[in-house]
Amino acid sequence: MIKIYLARHGETTWNAEGRIQGQSDPDLSPRGYRQSFILLEQIKERSLSAIYTSSLQRSILTALPVAQHFGLPIQRRSELNEIAFGILEGRLLQVDGEAQIEWERFKNDRLSYRIPGAENYHDVAQRLKPFLTNILSHHQGQEILIVGHRVVNQLLIGMLLNYPMEIVLRIEQANDLLYLVQVNGETRIFHYMDGEIREGVVMGGRSVIP
Protein backbone atom coordinates (compact mmCIF):
# COMPACT_ATOMS: atom_id res chain seq x y z
CA MET A 1 0.00 0.00 0.00
CA ILE A 2 1.02 3.60 -0.60
CA LYS A 3 -0.59 6.46 1.33
CA ILE A 4 -0.48 9.83 -0.38
CA TYR A 5 -1.32 12.89 1.70
CA LEU A 6 -2.37 15.60 -0.72
CA ALA A 7 -2.36 19.15 0.64
CA ARG A 8 -3.05 22.45 -1.04
CA HIS A 9 -0.72 25.35 -0.25
CA GLY A 10 -1.79 27.79 2.46
CA GLU A 11 -3.60 31.00 1.65
CA THR A 12 -1.46 33.57 -0.18
CA THR A 13 -1.55 37.35 -0.25
CA TRP A 14 -3.11 37.08 -3.72
CA ASN A 15 -5.74 34.59 -2.51
CA ALA A 16 -6.70 37.15 0.11
CA GLU A 17 -6.94 39.88 -2.55
CA GLY A 18 -8.83 37.72 -5.05
CA ARG A 19 -6.10 37.83 -7.69
CA ILE A 20 -5.55 35.03 -10.22
CA GLN A 21 -2.27 33.26 -9.40
CA GLY A 22 -1.42 30.46 -11.79
CA GLN A 23 2.37 30.19 -11.93
CA SER A 24 3.00 33.61 -10.41
CA ASP A 25 4.72 33.35 -7.06
CA PRO A 26 3.18 35.43 -4.24
CA ASP A 27 4.04 34.84 -0.58
CA LEU A 28 1.78 33.17 1.97
CA SER A 29 -0.50 35.46 3.93
CA PRO A 30 -0.36 35.39 7.76
CA ARG A 31 -3.32 33.01 7.61
CA GLY A 32 -1.42 30.86 5.12
CA TYR A 33 1.53 30.53 7.49
CA ARG A 34 -0.86 29.43 10.24
CA GLN A 35 -2.34 26.86 7.87
CA SER A 36 1.13 25.37 7.31
CA PHE A 37 1.23 24.53 11.03
CA ILE A 38 -2.31 23.13 10.89
CA LEU A 39 -1.02 20.75 8.20
CA LEU A 40 1.80 19.70 10.52
CA GLU A 41 -0.66 19.00 13.35
CA GLN A 42 -2.72 16.78 11.03
CA ILE A 43 0.15 14.49 10.04
CA LYS A 44 2.87 14.86 12.67
CA GLU A 45 2.16 11.37 14.06
CA ARG A 46 2.42 9.67 10.66
CA SER A 47 5.53 7.98 9.22
CA LEU A 48 6.38 10.12 6.23
CA SER A 49 9.10 8.95 3.87
CA ALA A 50 9.10 11.82 1.36
CA ILE A 51 7.76 15.33 0.79
CA TYR A 52 7.10 16.71 -2.70
CA THR A 53 6.11 20.27 -3.58
CA SER A 54 5.87 22.39 -6.67
CA SER A 55 8.68 24.85 -7.37
CA LEU A 56 6.47 27.77 -6.27
CA GLN A 57 7.18 29.30 -2.87
CA ARG A 58 3.59 29.03 -1.59
CA SER A 59 3.84 25.25 -1.87
CA ILE A 60 7.36 25.08 -0.42
CA LEU A 61 6.58 27.34 2.53
CA THR A 62 3.47 25.31 3.37
CA ALA A 63 5.55 22.11 3.50
CA LEU A 64 8.40 23.65 5.52
CA PRO A 65 7.10 22.97 9.08
CA VAL A 66 6.40 19.35 8.14
CA ALA A 67 9.85 18.94 6.57
CA GLN A 68 11.54 20.38 9.66
CA HIS A 69 9.51 18.14 11.98
CA PHE A 70 10.38 14.95 10.09
CA GLY A 71 13.90 15.95 9.05
CA LEU A 72 13.04 15.30 5.41
CA PRO A 73 14.17 17.27 2.34
CA ILE A 74 11.59 19.09 0.29
CA GLN A 75 11.68 17.66 -3.23
CA ARG A 76 10.65 20.45 -5.58
CA ARG A 77 9.06 19.34 -8.84
CA SER A 78 8.01 21.79 -11.52
CA GLU A 79 5.49 19.22 -12.81
CA LEU A 80 3.45 20.07 -9.70
CA ASN A 81 3.28 23.79 -10.53
CA GLU A 82 -0.22 25.20 -10.77
CA ILE A 83 -1.86 25.58 -14.15
CA ALA A 84 -0.52 28.64 -15.98
CA PHE A 85 -3.15 31.35 -16.48
CA GLY A 86 -1.13 33.46 -18.90
CA ILE A 87 -2.40 37.01 -19.39
CA LEU A 88 -4.84 36.68 -16.46
CA GLU A 89 -2.22 36.21 -13.75
CA GLY A 90 -2.27 38.98 -11.18
CA ARG A 91 -5.61 40.35 -12.37
CA LEU A 92 -8.82 40.88 -10.38
CA LEU A 93 -11.85 39.35 -12.09
CA GLN A 94 -14.26 41.47 -10.08
CA VAL A 95 -13.15 44.73 -11.72
CA ASP A 96 -11.61 43.56 -15.01
CA GLY A 97 -14.13 43.05 -17.81
CA GLU A 98 -11.61 41.68 -20.31
CA ALA A 99 -10.36 39.15 -17.76
CA GLN A 100 -13.93 38.08 -17.00
CA ILE A 101 -14.56 37.31 -20.66
CA GLU A 102 -11.42 35.17 -20.95
CA TRP A 103 -12.22 33.43 -17.67
CA GLU A 104 -15.70 32.47 -18.86
CA ARG A 105 -14.28 31.04 -22.10
CA PHE A 106 -11.88 28.92 -20.05
CA LYS A 107 -14.57 27.78 -17.59
CA ASN A 108 -16.74 26.58 -20.47
CA ASP A 109 -13.97 24.43 -21.98
CA ARG A 110 -11.23 23.74 -19.44
CA LEU A 111 -9.91 20.69 -21.30
CA SER A 112 -8.99 22.38 -24.55
CA TYR A 113 -9.34 26.18 -24.36
CA ARG A 114 -6.13 28.09 -23.62
CA ILE A 115 -6.19 31.63 -22.32
CA PRO A 116 -3.39 33.44 -24.21
CA GLY A 117 -0.06 32.38 -22.72
CA ALA A 118 -1.75 29.77 -20.52
CA GLU A 119 -2.36 26.03 -20.19
CA ASN A 120 -5.56 23.99 -20.15
CA TYR A 121 -6.41 20.96 -18.00
CA HIS A 122 -5.16 18.54 -20.65
CA ASP A 123 -1.75 20.23 -20.69
CA VAL A 124 -1.43 19.94 -16.91
CA ALA A 125 -2.55 16.31 -16.89
CA GLN A 126 0.11 15.42 -19.46
CA ARG A 127 2.93 16.83 -17.31
CA LEU A 128 1.56 15.16 -14.17
CA LYS A 129 1.30 11.61 -15.56
CA PRO A 130 5.05 10.76 -15.52
CA PHE A 131 5.37 12.19 -12.01
CA LEU A 132 2.48 10.10 -10.74
CA THR A 133 3.81 6.92 -12.36
CA ASN A 134 7.17 7.50 -10.69
CA ILE A 135 5.61 8.11 -7.28
CA LEU A 136 3.53 4.95 -7.40
CA SER A 137 6.50 2.79 -8.39
CA HIS A 138 9.06 4.24 -5.95
CA HIS A 139 7.03 4.63 -2.76
CA GLN A 140 5.19 1.35 -2.32
CA GLY A 141 4.72 0.57 1.37
CA GLN A 142 5.38 4.20 2.31
CA GLU A 143 3.51 7.37 3.28
CA ILE A 144 4.31 10.55 1.38
CA LEU A 145 3.14 14.16 1.33
CA ILE A 146 2.47 16.18 -1.81
CA VAL A 147 1.81 19.91 -1.39
CA GLY A 148 0.29 21.15 -4.61
CA HIS A 149 -2.34 23.50 -5.96
CA ARG A 150 -6.06 23.50 -6.68
CA VAL A 151 -6.07 22.36 -10.32
CA VAL A 152 -3.02 20.11 -9.93
CA ASN A 153 -4.59 18.34 -6.96
CA GLN A 154 -7.93 17.93 -8.70
CA LEU A 155 -6.17 16.18 -11.57
CA LEU A 156 -3.99 14.02 -9.34
CA ILE A 157 -7.08 12.81 -7.47
CA GLY A 158 -8.88 12.20 -10.75
CA MET A 159 -6.01 10.13 -12.17
CA LEU A 160 -5.54 8.11 -8.97
CA LEU A 161 -9.23 7.23 -8.67
CA ASN A 162 -10.11 7.15 -12.39
CA TYR A 163 -12.80 9.78 -11.92
CA PRO A 164 -14.51 11.18 -15.02
CA MET A 165 -13.75 14.81 -15.74
CA GLU A 166 -17.22 15.99 -14.70
CA ILE A 167 -16.38 14.82 -11.16
CA VAL A 168 -12.80 16.12 -11.24
CA LEU A 169 -14.00 19.64 -12.04
CA ARG A 170 -16.29 19.62 -8.99
CA ILE A 171 -13.67 18.53 -6.42
CA GLU A 172 -13.07 21.22 -3.82
CA GLN A 173 -10.00 21.74 -1.65
CA ALA A 174 -9.76 24.73 0.64
CA ASN A 175 -6.27 25.89 1.57
CA ASP A 176 -6.45 23.99 4.87
CA LEU A 177 -8.16 20.79 3.61
CA LEU A 178 -6.00 17.65 3.51
CA TYR A 179 -6.80 14.59 1.38
CA LEU A 180 -5.47 11.06 1.90
CA VAL A 181 -5.40 8.66 -1.03
CA GLN A 182 -4.75 4.99 -0.22
CA VAL A 183 -3.64 2.80 -3.12
CA ASN A 184 -3.73 -0.92 -2.32
CA GLY A 185 -5.38 -2.92 -5.08
CA GLU A 186 -8.43 -0.68 -4.79
CA THR A 187 -7.98 3.06 -4.32
CA ARG A 188 -9.85 4.99 -1.62
CA ILE A 189 -9.84 8.65 -0.71
CA PHE A 190 -10.40 10.37 2.63
CA HIS A 191 -10.26 13.95 3.84
CA TYR A 192 -9.73 15.77 7.11
CA MET A 193 -12.65 18.05 8.01
CA ASP A 194 -13.74 19.54 11.35
CA GLY A 195 -11.24 17.39 13.21
CA GLU A 196 -12.52 14.15 11.66
CA ILE A 197 -11.37 11.87 8.85
CA ARG A 198 -14.17 11.18 6.36
CA GLU A 199 -14.24 9.05 3.23
CA GLY A 200 -14.83 10.71 -0.12
CA VAL A 201 -14.13 14.11 -1.65
CA VAL A 202 -15.61 17.51 -0.88
CA MET A 203 -18.14 18.91 -3.34
CA GLY A 204 -20.51 21.73 -2.57
CA GLY A 205 -19.02 21.98 0.91
CA ARG A 206 -19.93 18.43 1.91
CA SER A 207 -18.43 14.93 1.78
CA VAL A 208 -19.29 12.92 -1.33
CA ILE A 209 -18.30 9.38 -2.36
CA PRO A 210 -18.58 9.46 -6.18
Which residues are part of the catalytic machinery?
9, 82
Q: Measured between alpha carbons, how far is 121 from 115 in angstroms, rounded to an integer?
A: 12
H-helix or E-strand spanning residue 172: none
Q: Is 102 left (phi over 0), alpha (psi -120 to 50) or beta?
A: alpha
CA distance 69 to 66: 5
One-letter amino acid of 44? K
Contact (Cβ atoms closer than 8 angstroms) between residue 180 and residue 150: no
Q: In 75-87, which positions are buried (b, 16+ CB within 10 angstroms) versus exposed (e)?
A: ebbebbbbbbbbe
Cα 206 to the center of its chain, rounded Å: 18
- The alpha-helical segments, DSSP class H, found in the chain are 13-17, 30-43, 57-70, 97-108, 121-138, 150-161, 165-168
